[in-house]
Amino acid sequence: PTMSMVCLSDFELFAKEHLPKTTWDYYAAGADECCTRDDNLVAYKRIRLRPRMLRDVSVTDTRTTIQGMEINFPIGIAPTAFHCLAWHDGEMSTARAAEAMNTCYIASTYSTCSVEEISTAAPNGLQWFQLYVYRNRKLSEQLVQRVEAQGYKAVVLTVDVPYTGKRRNDIRNNFKLPPHLKVKNFDGIFEQVETFQGQVNEKQCMTSPFKQTRAGEYDFNGAEVYGGAVNSLDPSISWKDIYWLQSLTRLPIIIKGILTKEDAELAVEHGVQGIIVSNHGGRQLDGGPASIDALSEIVETVQGRVEVYLDGGIRTGSDVLKALALGAKCVFIGRPVVWGLAYKGEEGVREILQILNDEFRLSMALAGCRNVSEINRNLIQFSKL
């Protein structure tokens, strides 16, 4: 890593100074008053550790597995949209960085490179695919078929976006993708789906956010704000759709956006293979819990039946250590990855991952842990919480 880049917030500063304001605002956005977005970070700082001494930490090992697949450290890349806003070949660089560092990249449906371009750019990388459910199920079905064919190893179903949260600056900026960028996964799909199904109603999808579309019904999906890109997400999505998704694929299904023990139990009962505790970077419901604060009740409920992961607010190695001590098998980082891209493309993302893992390894050693299986709840000072 470059000398001036010491920690993840150095990349944040760089990105803020160098990205166009509308792009910066989009990535930085939180819903409404950004309470949950900000609490995602602050919540780690309330947690104190109980380090153990004299445990011979001369050799440390950060390797772990997720869904049976080995990765070099328990830090993966969360799905975030529109990487080409930060770097010319966007998600392809992100995928190469994840491959080089041997960790998992969850590619977003709203990528500015297609799922095929991403997997071709990093043919030996571990890629999972983040999926939304659309009013026209055919759109989701086609995506699932494509990622299976490309060798993606899991489908990550995001369940916290029946509507997009209200991000004030995106509305003020009238945020749209610039004309040279596209949500590549849907390139040409409208025509195809129309031909095969005759049921895409593009007009319905392109209504303005916050505009009343029918009596009592608002289109908060923001298709126009977010680039006039695609068909609307389906706000009627419910638990039975897990069975629908299972009927489409043999890939493990990871449910992303769970914040309560009740929903964690339902997720397990519906047969998912993993849970990502997440509040979507605080971009959806403002006032929901910080993801690290929601983790414990979910881990306790799940009791090892499925793997539990977490995203939201991870900025330092000790944040990673705290999340693992509270039961996360792996954490995923979102905004720091686009800061890394903005800094130096693939190299910047590699630096982000390297710095965070170096910090994690150091925190582990200073807490007396030689490997990830030695990280457990005894490390947490619960009396302080």
- Using CB under 6 A as the binding rule, whether residue 345 contacts ligand HOC is answered as no
| Coil, helix or strand at residue 141 | helix
Q: What are the C-alpha distances in Å from 358 to residues 43, 79, 302, 329, 351?
A: 22, 23, 30, 18, 10
Catalytic option among 83, 88, 180, 280: 280
**137-166: contacts with ligand HOC (CB under 6 A):** 164
Q: Which stretch binds ligand HOC (CB under 6 A): 2-10, 189-197, 220-228, 325-333?
A: 220-228
Cα–Cα distance for residue pair 320/198, rounded to 1 Å: 48
**Smallest distance from ligand HOC to CB 223, Å:** 5
Nearer to ligand HOC, 335 or 350 (CB): 335
Contact 105/330 with Cβ under 8 angstroms?
Answer: no
- Using CB under 6 A as the binding rule, whether residue 220 contacts ligand HOC is answered as no
> Among 157, 335, 164, which Cα is nearest to 263's?
157
> Among 185, 204, 22, which Cα is nearest to 111's?
185
Q: Which stretch binds ligand HOC (CB under 6 A): 216-224, 270-278, 321-329, 372-380?
A: 216-224
- Using CB under 6 A as the binding rule, whether residue 316 contacts ligand HOC is answered as no
- Using CB under 6 A as the binding rule, whether residue 223 contacts ligand HOC is answered as yes
Nearer to ligand HOC, 163 or 244 (CB): 163
**74-103: contacts with ligand HOC (CB under 6 A):** 81
Longest dimension (CA), the chain: 68
**259-288: contacts with ligand HOC (CB under 6 A):** 280, 283
Q: Among 226, 332, 343, 360, which residue interacts with ligand HOC (rule: CB under 6 A)?
A: 226
Q: Among 76, 222, 327, 348, which residue interacts with ligand HOC (rule: CB under 6 A)?
A: 222
- Using CB under 6 A as the binding rule, whether residue 24 contacts ligand HOC is answered as no
Contact 183/227 with Cβ under 8 angstroms?
Answer: yes
| Coil, helix or strand at residue 342 | helix
Total residues in contact with ligand HOC, by rule CB under 6 A: 10
- Using CB under 6 A as the binding rule, whether residue 40 contacts ligand HOC is answered as no
Nearer to ligand HOC, 276 or 364 (CB): 276
Q: Among 93, 221, 278, 318, which residue interacts with ligand HOC (rule: CB under 6 A)?
A: 221
Cα–Cα distance for residue pair 109/111, rounded to 1 Å: 6
280 catalytic, yes or no? Answer: yes
Q: With helix as H, strand as E and coil as C, how does 201-269 read?
A: CHHHHCCCCCEEEECCEEECCCCCCCCCCCCCECCCCCCHHHHHHHHHCCCCEEEEEECCHHHHHHHHH
* Active site residue ranges: 280
For ligand HOC, the binding residues (CB under 6 A) are 81, 110, 164, 221-223, 226, 233, 280, 283
